[in-house]
Copies of this chain bind each other. A is one copy, B any other.
Amino acid sequence: MRNLLLKISYDGKRYHGWQIQQNAVTVQEVFQDALKNILGIQPDLKGCSRTDTGVHAYEYCISMKLEHSIPEKRLVAALNHFLPTDIAVYSCEQAADDFHARYSCTGKEYLYKLWNHRIRDPFLDGYAHHYWYALNEEQLNEAAQYYIGCHDFTSFCTLDQRRAGDMVRCVTNARVERQGDMVLFTVSADGFLYNMVRIMVGTLLRVAQRKFKPDDIPLIIKAKNRKLAGPTAPSCGLYLNRVFY
């Protein structure tokens, strides 16, 4: 039996995230349906992360054990034929027997897009958060540096009893840069808590609004109190950008 690693990309606008749930369309569900059409079976899919409703993925990884003998290249072509056009499969390769898309993951990089223009861009509806007040990317980048390091990120996590546990995550890189009217926040870590990137962004926007100073961030982290951080920024600006193994 092969253990396969699939790399995909998807536009999350019409999906309730990756993980199957009742009464809502998810990426996992349409992926399983496509496999059912192609192979006649529904292998157990392991996704590299949940991801919220409306969140996008430039790179998302799936592992699955497969008895079927279909060649990897043919599986990619067949999936791209049967999947909806807002999902694409880039590659499929054999992985070690014990490889698991989620548990073998050593880190991830997320990207958050802020459309910083007085007027919305019709082509970015659902693909960036429209923030029309001035953003000073250098100041935000200075603030973002305080996220780097191994910290208890309780202040940057939406409480969810089901996911309680170790709240320490090691952020290896965080930066804010401007590309024209788009301001991008990129952050890498060994793992992320629930809503962590979106709360990081909401907190950076509080800095932009002069409600926080950049060096308030270490104090907010230290306090381990969700109420002290900024609000959760909308999901539409968030992209899973890279997955590390």
Contacts and interface: CB of A to CB of B under 8 A. Distances in A.
A11 B123 contact: yes
A122 B10 contact: yes
Copies of this protein chain in the complex = 2
A245 interface: no
Q: Is the interface of A mostly helix, strand, loop or mixed?
A: mixed
A133 interface: no
A129 interface: no
B10 A119 contact: no
Contact of A88 (B10, B85, B87, B121): B121
Sorting the interface of chain A by its residue count into under 10, 10 to 19, 20 to 34 or 35 or more gives 10 to 19
A120 interface: yes
B119 A80 contact: yes
Contact of A125 (B80, B86, B120): B86
A122 B13 CA distance: 11
B11 A85 contact: no
Given A85-B125, A86-B125, A125-B86, A120 B80 contact: yes
Contacts of A90: 119
A87 B124 CA distance: 11
A5 interface: no
A188 B197 CA distance: 44
A175 interface: no
Nearest to A85: B125
Nearest to A91: B119
Interface string A90-109: 10000000000000000000
A76 to B, nearest CB: 8
Contacts of A121: 9, 88
A87 to B, nearest CB: 6
A56 interface: yes
Contacts of A220: none
23 contacts: A9-B121, A9-B122, A9-B123, A10-B122, A11-B122, A11-B123, A11-B125, A56-B123, A80-B119, A80-B120, A85-B120, A85-B122, A85-B125, A86-B122, A86-B125, A87-B122, A88-B119, A88-B120, A88-B121, A88-B122, A89-B119, A90-B119, A123-B127
